[in-house]
Amino acid sequence: MSSPQQPEQTPYEALGGDAAVRRLVDRFYELMIEVPEYHHIRKMHPADISSSNDKLYRFLSGWLGGPPLYMEKYGHPMLRARHLPYPIGIAERDAWLACMLQAMEDCGIEEAMRMALLKAFYGTADWMRNRPE
Ligand code: HEM
């Protein structure tokens, strides 16, 4: 019999854990190259995307309620401060979010989860804006 105290499933578990987060981040950065509308944000990243990929994968693992892999390797994310060198306005925020939405679709994440995550991503991406519009 299941206990009424049983904690709810985290988004990390609902998505399918580590392999699902890796797949999502891989697809996210693939799309940044494939889709011309995302090229301006791809160009802000290093030519070799592997370390950016590893950082986002580790960050999302903890952000989704899974193991805090980013903290274990790099310490506190201080995301806003780390994005200050890159000019992020509404266009960059929206390109990042569109790329992530498309990656979630391509990975087969079901609609209710996709919409809930998009809303949460919006909050984080909007907070990263550092240019007056
Ligand atoms: C709003 C539009 C965004 C743009 C244009 C953007 C762009 C970038 C760029 C250019 C880097 C540096 C890559 C590197 O050093 O390898 C970076 C790092 C990072 N971004 Fe974003 N980002 C955005 C939003 C987000 C959001 C919403 C998240 C999380 C949900 C996120 C998570 C990260 C992480 C974890 C790093 C690595 C930080 C570090 O350790 O240096 N970013 N981002």
pLDDT above 60 for 123: yes
- Tens of pLDDT, residues 83-121: 999 999 999 999 999 999 999 999 999 999 999 999 999
pLDDT of residue 133: 85
Place 1 in a pLDDT band, splitting at 50, 70 and 90.
very low
pLDDT mean over 76-83:
97
Ligand 1 pocket, residues with Cβ under 6 angstroms: 41, 44-46, 51-52, 55-56, 59, 74, 77, 79, 82-83, 86, 88, 92-93, 96, 121, 124-125, 128
pTM greater than 0.75: yes
For residue range 9-56, what is the model confidence (pLDDT) as tens digits? Answer: 999 999 999 999 999 999 999 999 999 999 999 999 999 999 999 999
Q: 84, 118, 128: which to mutate for ligand 1, most atoms within 8 A of CB?
A: 128
Closest CA to 128 of 99, 93, 97, 96: 93
Atom index in ligand 1 nearest the CA of residue 51 equals 16
* Measured CA distances, 65 to 47, 61, 130 (Å): 30, 7, 27
Q: Indicate whether 3 pLDDT > 60.
A: no
